[in-house]
Amino acid sequence: MSEKGALRSLLGICWGASKGDEGSSGKSSSNSQRRQYSDSDDISGASFSQEDLSLKLAGSNLHAFTIAELKAVTRNFTMTNLLGSGGFGPVYKGYIDDKLRPGLKPQHVAVKSLDLDGQQGHREWLAEVIFLGQLRHPHLVKLIGYCCEDEHRMLVYEFMPRGSVENQLFKRLLASLPWSTRLKIAVGAAKGLAFLHHDAEKPVIYRDFKASNILLDNDYSAKLSDFGLAKDGPQGDNTHVTTRVMGTHGYAAPEYILTGHLTAKSDVYSFGVVLLELLAGRRCVDKNRPNRQKNLVDWARPYLNNAEKLRRVMDPSLDGQYSVKGSQKVAAIAYKCLSHNPKSRPNMKVVVETLEPLLNLNDIPTGPFIYVAPKEKVDEDEEKENDDKKKEKIETETTTQDQKNHNNRDQRHKQRFPNSVIHSEVTLHKDGKSLFRNSHFRKYQRHNQERGA
């Protein structure tokens, strides 16, 4: 049996009688069903051991860790190593090297532990082991190993130091993601989906594409994670996979919600939602927004094909520091991805071919964006009042300058003729035949005025 066949037969062993996610592939002309992972019910999921799992996964390069080893790696799952928690369960940071096991590459890892009381269970854990055990791509997170011991179900991934797109886009405190970084993330995520849909040995529908499931390395290269809801895509004449509706509110395609029919175009719609989040810097569903803006797709999609109105959608924290041409092309492809008609949506190869050339555009403004408001028309009365104020100001300045000039002439004359009577403090005044000093003359005038009174 081939490695792929061995891995797929494992699901029949592990999922066993669990039928909650029974899937069928629809044909346009028949109701024939295609055997899926969950169709097998011959062996209970509780009946396999770690040795069985290791045997079935032989050749996948996955390591079967023990719970004791993972306790050592994460310092007994201490809270200081806790990276976060999601629907699957808590995630801890750890470190592995050849001291733990010969041949292990020294590196930091993320250890995800299944919460037995959480939203996901053994089925989702096993799906991740199967899919990521088979699939290898630069834009898919690398699964290093797993733990299946007693009730413990754990997954060991490569550590992604930048965390998720959700955290980078919505929870950054100091600065927003630059436009070039957002575009790089979009291209990387698109390549990951294109690989699953078109280049994998058998097509895979991701089914849970969202900002929190896109992880970033040091260089902001995007990698898809969390394959717990992934499904085999339709093959041959089959047009879709019918399954129970699962995913995240706001990201799931409308036709999938209504009918349960799952296709690769369902992932394309979810990609369009994330692309819109990257443009707007907003969550796809935000109850704190005004009523019309609570659902991002409903509010923003009408603006995406209008260059003037697109500015209403663009993230204001970018401060205008983005490629206008690039943003318009991104908005146009997002508009197509978000079409309510699945057949009108492009496939992911077309999306990659559209987005990747935009990385080479160099029309991003170099300085901060400054909006210059148009000058308003001033009425005639205000203009006249302003003119009068200007004239009054000019006259005041002229008078002040003349006074300064006069004072300057007096100073120059005093320096040249210091003994002149003009500048004497005891000026002589002549009244008839008598000469008086300045102070005596004033007393004489006042005495005469009193006598005359």
Listed residue (233, 217, 83, 207) closest to 138, CA to CA = 217
CA distance 92 to 33: 41
Residues 6+ apart with CB under 8 A from 368: 319, 320, 321
CA distance 196 to 422: 105
CATH number, domain 1-159, options 3.90.226.10, 3.30.465.10, 3.30.200.20, 3.40.50.300: 3.30.200.20
Higher-confidence residue: 48 or 360?
360
Higher-confidence residue: 195 or 172?
195
**The token pair that represents 103 in the structure block:** 């041949």
Cβ atoms within 10 Å of 83's Cβ, excluding its own: 15
Q: Which pLDDT band holds residue 9 (cuts at 50, 70, 90)?
A: very low
Mean pLDDT of 257-274: 95
Mean pLDDT of 281-296: 94
Rounded to 5 degrees, φ, ψ at 271 are -65, -40
Rounded to a whole number, what is the distance in angstroms from the first to the last CA of the chain?
141
The amino acid sitting at 111 is V
Percent of the chain with pLDDT over 90: 50
pLDDT tens for 153-191 read 999 999 999 999 999 999 877 788 999 999 999 999 999
Cβ atoms within 10 Å of 328's Cβ, excluding its own: 15
Among 159-173, 281-295, 372-386, the minimum mean pLDDT is found in 372-386
Exposure class string for 93-129: b at 16+ Cβ within 10 A, else e = bbebeeebeeeeeeeebbbbbbbeeeebbbbbbbbbb
Q: What distances in angstroms separate CA 419 from CA 53, 407, 414, 425, 440, one per listed residue?
A: 121, 18, 8, 11, 20
Higher-confidence residue: 339 or 20?
339
pLDDT tens for 267-281 read 999 999 999 999 999
- Asked if residue 386 has pLDDT above 70, the reply is no
Q: What is the pTM of this model?
A: 0.71
Average pLDDT, the chain: 80
Percent of the chain with pLDDT over 70: 66
Listed residue (313, 359, 304) closest to 336, CA to CA = 304
Torsion of CA 5, 11, 16, 20, to 10 degrees: -130
- Asked if residue 224 has pLDDT above 90, the reply is yes
Of the ranges 91-105, 111-125, 393-407, the best mean pLDDT one:
91-105
Catalytic positions are: 208
Mean pLDDT of 38-66: 57
**The token pair that represents 204 in the structure block:** 């895979």
So what's the pLDDT on residue 93? 96
Among 16-20, 72-76, 161-165, 407-411, the minimum mean pLDDT is found in 16-20
Q: Which pLDDT band holds residue 2 (cuts at 50, 70, 90)?
A: very low
- Asked if residue 207 has pLDDT above 90, the reply is yes
User: Which CATH number applies to 164-366?
Assistant: 1.10.510.10
- Asked if residue 265 has pLDDT above 60, the reply is yes
Q: Which pLDDT band holds residue 442 (cuts at 50, 70, 90)?
A: low
CA distance 98 to 100: 5
Q: What distances in angstroms separate CA 34 from CA 4, 86, 226, 257, one per listed residue?
A: 17, 32, 25, 22
CA distance 263 to 251: 14
Distance of CA 416 to the CA centre of its chain: 80
Higher-confidence residue: 8 or 98?
98
pLDDT tens for 307-336 read 999 999 999 999 999 999 999 999 999 999
Task: Please give the full DSSP string across 49-95, using - where no structure is assigned.
Answer: -HHHHHHHTTTS--EE--HHHHHHHTTTT-GGGEEEE-SS-EEEEEE
